[in-house]
Chain A
Amino acid sequence: MVDQEISESLEQHKYDQPDLMGHFGRYGGRFVAETLMGALEDLDRTWRELWRDKTFQADFDRDLADFVGRPSPLYFAGRWTRELGGAKIYLKREDLNHTGAHKINHAVGQALLAKHMGKTRIIAETGAGQHGVASATVAARLGLECVVYMGARDVKRQALNVYRMKLLGATVVPVETGSQTLKDAINEALRDWVARPEDTFYLLGTVCGPSPYPEMVRNLQSIIGREARRQILEKEGRLPEALVACVGGGSNAMGLFHEFILDKDVKLYGVEAAGHGVDTDKHAARMSSGRPGVLQGARTYLMTNEHGQIIESHSVSAGLDYPGVGPEHSYLKDIGRAQYPAATDEEALAAFRQLTRLEGIMPALESAHALAWVDKLAPTMDKDQIIICNLSGRGDKDIHTVAAIDGLEV
């Protein structure tokens, strides 16, 4: 019933999610211990005040232009389009941002917020290391102490980014608990924050976690969709038929989707990691095989067993290797506004190689999952139709992983 009301409100060109308590329909919310409530209420208050503040907006716009290098180009992938023989494929080049991924967008915004709140210390979690690098970067620039929590397994598979963070002056703390990946890094960052809420700002790296993070990170990332919309109107004079983005926590996807939610003719595809396959026990396809539960502050789709224990996820890409998903994605799935297909490790690797050879662009393995879906989708569409795929990050960090799969050591 609720879903129907929401579909109707989309018809009426309204999208007012989340509510003031951070609920996207039945998802989201603020499911944390009382120990964190004070810090979250402070953040929520300051965030709402600043987001409407003209000076903050001007500072944010300036940093996005001069420090991040925005706007990022919307690139027509001509050879790949011809190869697939269907829809025209445009790539939103977030890989060209400073530090090499979309993560810098919300990092710059949250850093302004941290500074405004008088915090002297930034903590962050990271999976692939891109958000850790972005956090270390903005901390260096503002002269703030930075501690990055990273699953011990990810520390190994993303060695290059670990070293980048250290060069930037950050302390990288390997997390040895649980599955030693992104989920456990978030747990550890939350534990740190509880102990030092006065001087510490938790720079969360995706649209997950307790309210206000899902909304705040989405809004800070929505620059992606605003630019893409303007750029496609300039180049093609009309909106695309489909948007495609990979979904780990889901920040790059929400950043691209948000501006188009009311354009019901624009299909939204969030691509999850199918790992070895959704029918195996090694994947991160929460939407296809998970169910709603509560993890790390929000109600959302999760990989959980029948006793409520979180199941370990798997993906070749550290950034998609997470058993939860941003609550707004759960909501968009349930109301049918977005679809969430999955791409396997193998399909993502094939797409990684294909884009590298055809377009001279080496994508991050996370983004390669979105490309793998474009590879299936484009041939089913007409030549005058348009897809925009978010190329959320560059692949330099993954060269060791790909080389290892090729049996090489570099």
Chain B
Amino acid sequence: MSRKTNRITACFARLQERERKALIPYILAGDPPGKTVEVMHQMVDKGADMIELGFPFSDPVADGPVIARAHERAVSHGVTLHDVFAMVSEFRERDNDTPIVLMGYLNPVEIMGYHRFVELASEAGVDGVLMVDLPPEAAGDLLDMLHERGMDMINLITPTTSDDRMAKICRVASGYLYYVSLKGVTGAATLNTADVEQRVNHIRHFANIPVCVGFGIRDGASAAAIGRTADGVIAGSVLVSELARYGSEGQAAIDRVASTIAEMRSAMDDDRMNE
């Protein structure tokens, strides 16, 4: 299938030219309420290259307590997929380059209907979709609809993914691969950089698209360490837990997210220059 170059492909091409690695923050849409678009712009200003935007679900089984609680808060505030599309549209008014990947669980998409979901996501300016609980062997219909609209389906690879599965996943994957660096749910313990390096190099035997790494990245040092091997670094729980303090700390919580991104960015870039 011939597909036009989308924002994700363009973004990685730009980064490669500048010998820079992608910094990809994850936040949950609608947590805290009304602040998501502002946070997205701030993160881009401080050096984020791409944004993974979670959409809320009542039963986020692959997430640890930090992100699971964010889902609970957003669900209790009644944040819907329509609201999430509205946030993306609003973001696009000022930023037409930064790729946005929607990440979430299947049921809200099933209930909305795949066709409508893909249509509305595309109109809003979404570039990729990562469905946590939709394995590639069951993704057929959604995958085709996304590709028709020039969007990518981002897939996960984990430390327990067999070579057979990796080959299967790489056949359908586009945009980038998301390597989950740790066993467990999001927000789990610290990571072993040497293991990650070995695994990422192994994945490259199967993949001809960028490999980004998430789970366990919480500061400049871990971002820089992962940035040495991966094409991109994904940070989620640390940012979501900072935003969780918005209720008690207000704007200071958003400022802290911005400074965390700035710290990761400069650590990753300094690391490149020292090589």
| Contacts from A to B (Cβ < 8 Å) | 21, 29-35, 37-39, 41, 177-178, 183-184, 187, 190-191, 194-197, 291-297, 299, 302, 304, 306-310
Contacts and interface: CB of A to CB of B under 8 A. Distances in A.
Contact of A34 (B81, B105, B135, B138): B135
A307 B108 contact: yes
Nearest to B138: A29
A46 to B, nearest CB: 15
Nearest to B111: A308
A367 to B, nearest CB: 27
B185 A194 contact: yes
Nearest to A40: B135
A30 B135 contact: yes
Given A194-B185, A308-B109, A308-B111, A35 B59 contact: no
A33 B178 CA distance: 12
B137 to A, nearest CB: 7
B107 A310 contact: yes
**Listed residue (A33, A41, A291, A293) with the most chain B CB atoms within 10 angstroms of its CB:** A33
B61 interface: yes
Interface stretch (B20-28, B160-168, B242-250): B160-168
A308 B57 contact: yes
A187 B106 contact: no
Interface string B196-209: 00000000000000
30 contacts: A31-B133, A32-B133, A32-B135, A33-B132, A33-B133, A34-B158, A35-B183, A37-B135, A37-B160, A37-B165, A38-B165, A183-B59, A187-B60, A187-B61, A191-B61, A194-B62, A194-B184, A195-B184, A195-B188, A291-B111, A294-B105, A294-B110, A307-B111, A308-B81, A308-B109, A308-B111, A309-B75, A309-B108, A310-B59, A310-B107
A154 B48 CA distance: 44
Contacts of B132: 33
Interface in B101-146: 105-112, 132-135, 137-138
A23 to B, nearest CB: 9
Contacts, number: 118
Contacts of B109: 308
Contact of A35 (B62, B108, B169): B62
A307 B109 CA distance: 9
Contacts of B188: 195
Contact-residue bracket for chain B? 35 or more
B183 A197 contact: yes
Contacts of B57: 308-309
Interface in B55-105: 56-62, 64, 68-69, 72, 75, 80-81, 105
Interface in B7-29: none
Interface of B: 56-62, 64, 68-69, 72, 75, 80-81, 105-112, 132-135, 137-138, 155-158, 160-162, 165, 169, 180, 183-185, 188
Which of A34, A187, A194, A297: most chain B Cβ within 10 A?
A34
A307 B135 CA distance: 22
Contacts of B80: 307
A187 B81 CA distance: 22
Nearest to B162: A38
A237 B157 CA distance: 57
Contact of B137 (A21, A38, A309, A310): A21
B158 A38 contact: yes
B59 A296 contact: yes
Contacts of A299: 110
A-B pairs, top 7 by smallest CB distance, nearest first, are: A308-B108, A38-B160, A195-B184, A308-B111, A34-B156, A33-B62, A307-B80
Nearest to B160: A38
A177 to B, nearest CB: 6
A295 to B, nearest CB: 6
A196 B111 CA distance: 32
